[in-house]
Amino acid sequence: MRIHAAEPLDAVVGWMDAMRRGDVEDVTGWLDPDITWRGVRDAAICRGRREVLEMLEGSLEGHLGVDAVELIAGDGAAVLGAKVPGLSEIAGVDVPGQLFNVFRVRCGKIVAVEDYAGREEALAAAGASAPQWAS
């Protein structure tokens, strides 16, 4: 069954809103109990909702802390790009002020997130293409 492209976008927007508001209960509601979150280094993996919430704890401050965001639908997934002031590296990987997350969504729940340093790599992983905006 093909997932409608809006479903992953809806889930990520809902999750982002809950993060922005610092609403732990709502954030928890968007996450599948068996979620996995892989960092830019494959060895950095959170397994299960509890580990993911512990990892996100410092981000639940009631604001996004970014200069720009980009959200692109993929095949059962969405790519979230964020321009983050002062971000230069994560776990020894250069991330020049930006980070890309691939959110995999099933039945309205986020089941997996993968972090990427580069946009093209994240788009490919999500089966997405950069949008062709009209001038």
Residue 62 pLDDT:
60
Residue 100 pLDDT:
94
Q: Does residue 130 form part of some domain?
A: no
Q: Does residue 135 form part of some domain?
A: no
Question: What b/e readout covers 6-31, taking b as 16+ CB neighbours within 10 angstroms?
Answer: ebbbebbbbbbebbeeeeeeebeebb
Residue 2 pLDDT:
44
Nearest Cα neighbor of 125 from 80, 90, 84 is: 80
Is the pTM higher than 0.95? The answer reads no
Tokens of 58: 């410092």
Q: Does residue 1 form part of some domain?
A: no
Residue 71 pLDDT:
96
Q: Does residue 50 form part of some domain?
A: yes
3-state secondary structure of 10: helix
CA distance 84 to 67: 6
Domains contained in the chain, number: 1
CATH assignment at residue 24? 3.10.450.50
Residue 90 pLDDT:
78
Residue 55 CB coordination number (10 Å): 13
Q: Does residue 132 form part of some domain?
A: no
Which residues form the domain of 49?
A: 6-125
Q: Does residue 82 form part of some domain?
A: yes
**pLDDT under 50: residue ranges of the chain:** 1-4
